[in-house]
Amino acid sequence: MAEGIAGLLAEQADLERQMADPATHADLAVARRVGRRYAELGPIVRAWDDRERLAADLVAARELAGEDASFAAERDGLEAQLGLAEERLTRLLAPRDPNDSRDAIMEIKSGEGGEESALFAGVLFKMYQRYSESKGWGLEVLDSQETDLGGYKTITFAVKARPAAAEAPYAALKFEGGVHRVQRVPVTESQGRVHTSAVGVLVMPDVDPEEVVINEDDLRIDVYRSSGPGGQGVNTTDSAVRVTHLPSGLVVSCQNERSQLQNKESALRLLRARLTALAADQAAQAQAQARKSQVRTVDRSERVRTYNFPENRLADHRVGYKAHNLDLVLGGELQPVVTALQEADLADRLAEATGGPA
């Protein structure tokens, strides 16, 4: 552990020198990269400093306890604190997702269930909106297709950390990817019967433009007239943009902004995120470790979570999490669910690092 920490301390010192160099801030891409890595190392370095301080205090307390039994309680307390500090450091040093320090782009797409599925897509969007507010994150809608009843066929949005935020969005929201199943009485149901519908959620890291180079010759860009609510000007000009990435076949579209240029920028931002997610998928498959947290079809049988309204129950099927506080979760109190998923992921990463069972 000490050798690994020594390397991280040296890296942090080098990053501090780069941050003090005006040339670093002259290049926005370099400044972002250096700042992001420095922020990643901060908690690890602080945890190491705490561990070293407690270890030194414990040495002194043991010497005093050997001479005077009245210091035994202080020694025992420091031993317990040191154990906790070493556990925290071990957790921080576990192999991590390199995208955990990034912002996130999310897409919610209605699936099985028709209009009821679209309505629940709107419910999930509000849940993520309120959760983001509780975390101190900002939320920006990039594209949406509304239905007549106020639901969403699809809605794509970016979640961005503000300076005061303690955690980056992708680290928490990446586990939301997959099929979310809802069981409730739809507003369109006249006989009060409970229906089951499904909504798909996709989560991608929001990458910087210079990190994913897109050749303009690889793109086909189409413009068209926006549809749905949008106010004066939006539905009367060809401001919507559809971008097709020919090598991969990925297609993205944006129509929420008033100008064609703004919609093109949003579409390219979404394309970069999807290309990054696609590359991560291909790398995982090459290592025979296909990602389990995200699914590609919106089918009720491939669910990661169920929202049961009659029982006010939420169940995450990946980690066995269950709670009868669905109303609170939909109100934005999603953290206990996120924490359960993060703890399970950490256990897997620690087991992988040590070669032990998950």
Work out the average pLDDT over 321-337: 97
Q: Binning pLDDT at 50, 70 and 90, where does residue 233 land?
A: very low
CA distance 300 to 88: 38
Work out the average pLDDT over 7-16: 91
| Nearest CA-CA partner of 177 in 158, 162, 160, 199 | 199
Residues 6 or more apart from 176 whose CB is under 8 A from it? Answer: 106, 128, 201, 203
- Which pTM was predicted? 0.76
**% of the chain residues with pLDDT over 70:** 88
Residues belonging to the chain: 358
CA distance 219 to 241: 12
Work out the average pLDDT over 259-282: 89
CA distance 190 to 312: 21
* Ordered domains of the chain (ranges, CATH): 2-93 (no CATH), 103-347 (3.30.70.1660)
For the cut 70, the answer to whether the pLDDT of residue 67 exceeds it is yes
Provide the mean pLDDT of the chain: 87
For the cut 90, the answer to whether the pLDDT of residue 298 exceeds it is no
- In the sheet that holds 152-161, the strands lie side by side as 137-146, 152-161, 103-110, 195-206, 178-184, 303-308, 313-316, 321-323
Which has more pLDDT, 41 or 324? Answer: 324
For the cut 50, the answer to whether the pLDDT of residue 291 exceeds it is no
